[in-house]
Structure 1
Amino acid sequence: MLFGKKLTLVKKRGLWGWVFIAPWLIGFIFLFAAPLFQSVLYSFSELKLSPNGMELNFLGLTNYSNALMEHVDYNRTLIEAVISMVINVPLIIIFSLFVATILNQKFRGRMWARAIFFLPVILASGVIASIESGDFLQSAMMQAGEENTGTGLQSFELESMLIQAGLPVGLVEYLTGAVDRIYEIVSSSGVQIIIFLAGLQAIPAQLYEASRIEGATGYEAFWKITFPMISPLILTNVIYSVIDAFTNNEMTTLIQTTAFQQFDFGLSASMSWIYFIIISVILMATTFLISRKVYYQSE
C-alpha cells in the first residue's frame, strides 16, 4: 500500500528498483555532482593560479577548438580508442559467452576453472595494473613474441594462410587482430564471464529437457533457448565492455597528463567532455540497435 493505493507487481518492482539505486544516487549527488559541473565550467575557461587563489578566465569554445584543431595527439588518440573499442568489444562478448557456456557444464575442477578466468579481474586492481599502465608487460610480451618466431604460428603467417584460403581481406585482418589482442581480450572478460554464467544458470532445465524430447540438437537448443534467454545480458555486457574499453586506454592517460603534468585544466576538461559525448553517442546507438533484438520474458 502506498498513500492508500494498492500497488501492482510492476510498480512494486519499480519501487524496489529505486530503493536499490538510492545509495548510488545519494553518492552521486553529494560526491560527484559538484566536480562534474565544475569540470564543465573549467572546459569553457582558463584556470590560473594567482596570489588570491585560482582565477577563471572565460574563453568560450577556445579549449574545445584547441583540442580538436590544434592539439597534436588528441584526434589520433581519440580515433585509436574508438577503433580499439570497435574491435575489442565484439571479441570480448563472443569469448566470454563461449567460456561461460563451457564453465556452465559439469566437469571435474569446474570451480577452479571459474576462479582462473576471474583472476585477471582481481589482478587488474593490484600490481599488474600498475605494470600495465606503463606498458611494461605488453612490451615485454611483444618482444618475447618477436624473438620466439620458431615456436608458433605468428599472426602474419596466419593472415597469409587465410588469404590464400579465399577469405575476405577485411575478415582476415579482424581475425589476425584478435590473435594479436588475445591477452587484452582475456584480461578484460572476467566480469562478462561471471554475468553470462549467472544468466546461463538461471535458465530452467525443463526447457532443455523439453527440447531434447522434441528432438532438438545442441546447436538448435543454443540458438532457440540459450541465446534468447541471455540476450538481455548480452546488452548489459556490451554496455559494460564499451565503458570499460573507454576508461582504460591512452585517451585517459592523455587527459590526465594534460591536467596534472602540463597543468592545463581547461584543455583537459574540454578533452574529457568531448570524449564523454562520443562515448554517450556510441552507447545510445549500441543500446538502441541491440535492444530491438533482446528477448524479455513476460511479466
Structure 2
Amino acid sequence: MNAIPQPRVKRKSYDNKKAFWGFIYVLPWLLGFIFFFLIPLLNSLRFSLSSVEANSKGIQVHYIGFSNYWHALTVDTSFNRTLTESILNMVINVPLIVVFSLFLAVLLNQKFFGRTAARAIFFLPVILASGIIMSLESTSLVQAINDQNAGGKVVSGLGSLELANMMVQAGVSDSIVDYLLSAVDRIYQIVSQSGVQILIFLAGIQSISPQLYEASKIEGATGYESFWKITFPMVSPLILVNVVYTIIDSFSANKMTDLIRDTGFKSFHFGLSSAMAWLYFLAVAFILLISTFIISRKVFYYD
C-alpha cells in the first residue's frame, strides 16, 4: 500500500525572515502615519494650493494653483534668506556634530574611573533640551543665563580673533580658518545636539567583536591603525544613521520653522504658510537624498 505523500512545508529563508521582522518593527510607525499624519499632510498640500480664509461661515478654501509657492519664492523677503541660512547652518553643523560624537564615543568606550558619570553628563543636554526645560526660557533664571552668555561673546570674539591670527600665520587657508572659527563659536550648540549620536556610536563600538582588536594587536597594529582599519569601517553604517538623524534634527527647529509658524498663526496666511512648509520639506528631502546616496556608497556592512 503506497504511503500518502505529505505536503512539503516551505520554510522561510533568512532574508524573508529579516524582511518580515523588519516590517513588524516599522508597523507601529506606519499605522501612526496613516491614522494621524496622512490626512493633515494631504490637507497641508491642499491648503498650499489654495487661498484659505477663516470667517463666521467657517474655513473657506479656494483653489488658486501655485500662487502661494510663487509668492514665497519671489515676493516674500524673508523666505529665501531664512531657507539659505538654515541650509548653511546645517552644512556647517552636521559634520561637526558627527565627528565630535564619534570622537566622544571612542573616548567614553575606554575604561576609566567615572565612565558612567561621564556618559550621563554628555547625554544631559538631550534631557535639558526637552519641552519642559525649554518652556522655562521666559523665567528670570534662564534669561539671566542667556544675558550672561551674551555678555561673554565679546571675550569669545577676542579669543577667536587670536586663534585666527595664529592659524593664518601657520599657513592655514582662509576657508579652513573660517570653518574652524565657526566650529569654536558653535561649540555649545554642537555639544547640546550630540547626545543621541554619542549613544548610537557607543552602542555600535561596543558591538564590535574584541577578537578583531586582539588580532590587530598580535599583528602589531597601533591604536591609530585599529581605529581606521576596524572601528571606523564597522561603525560606518551608524555614520549614515547619525548623518540622517542630525540633518532632520537640525531642520526640525530653527528660524525657518519659526517663520512658517508665524506666517500661519500670527499673520493668518495659512495657504502661504503651507506652501513654505512644502518648499522646506522638498529642500530637506533633496538634501537627505543626496547625503544618503553619497555616504551609502562608502558604507561597510559586516556579514
With the shorter chain as reference, the TM-score category is over 0.9
User: How far apart are 1:161 and its partner, in Å?
Assistant: 1.4
Tell me, yes or no, if structure 1 residue 75 matches structure 2 residue 80: yes
Matched to 1:182, the amino acid is I
Candidates 246, 249, 266, aligned match of 2:251: 246
Task: Give the superposition deviation at 1:159.
Answer: 1.2
Alpha-carbon distance, 1:143 to partner? 2.1
CA distance in 1, matches of 2:215, 2:50: 65
1:21-32 mapped onto 2 (5 Å cutoff) = 21-32=26-37
TM-score by length of 1: 0.94
Task: Name structure 1 gaps, 5 residues minimum.
Answer: none
The amino acid that maps onto 1:206 is: Q
Query: How far apart are 1:133 and its partner, in Å?
Result: 9.5
Larger Rg, first or second structure (1 or 2): 2
Residue 210 of structure 1: which of 211, 215, 218 is its match? 215
Q: 1:143 to 1:207 in 2, by over 3 A?
A: same
CA distance in 2: counterparts of 1:133 and 1:95, whole angstroms: 31
Match of 2:129 among 117, 124, 129: 124
Alignment of 1:154-193 (within 5 A): 154-193=159-198
| Residue 144 in structure 1 maps to residue 149 in structure 2 | no
- Partners of 2:45 and 2:39 in 1: how far apart? 10
Alignment-mate amino acid for residue 59 of structure 1 = I
Structure 2 residue identity aligned to 1:220: E
Aligned-residue offset at 1:50: 3.0
Deviation at 1:128, TM superposition (A): 4.0
Pairwise CA distance, 1:226: 0.3
The number of residue pairs the alignment matches comes to 293
For residues 261-286 of structure 1, give each alpha carbon's deviation from its aligned partner in whole angstroms, at most 9, with x where no partner exists.
11111000000000000100000000
Q: Partner of 1:57: helix, strand, or coil?
A: strand
Question: Does the residue aligned with 1:154 lie in a helix, a strand or coil?
Answer: helix
Tell me, which stretches of 5 or more residues in structure 2 are unaligned? 1-7
Distance in 2, matches of 1:98 and 1:270, equals 40
Distance in 1 between the 2:136 and 2:186 partners?
A: 17
The structural deviation recorded for 1:4 is 4.9
Q: Distance in 2 between the 1:42 and 1:121 partners?
A: 34
Aligned residue for 1:220? 225
Q: Distance between the aligned counterparts of 1:51 and 1:127, measured in 2?
A: 36
Worse overlay, 274-283 or 118-127: 118-127
**Which deviates the most, 135-144 or 253-262?**
135-144
Question: Which stretch of the first structure deviates more once superposed, 131-140 or 278-287?
Answer: 131-140
User: Deviation string for 1:226-276 (max 9, x for gaps)?
Assistant: 000000000000000000001121000010000111111100000000000
- Separation in structure 2 between the aligned mates of residue 132 and residue 267 of structure 1, nearest angstrom: 29
TM-score, normalising length from structure 2? 0.93
For residues 133 and 290 of structure 1, what CA distance do their matches in structure 2 show? 41
| 1:10 positional shift | 1.2
1:127 shift after superposition: 4.6
Q: Distance in 1 between matches of 2:138 and 2:205?
A: 34
Note the alpha carbon deviations across 1:126-172, whole angstroms, 9 max, x for none.
454246699956564132232x46xx961122112111111000000
Q: Identity rate of aligned residues, in percent?
A: 54
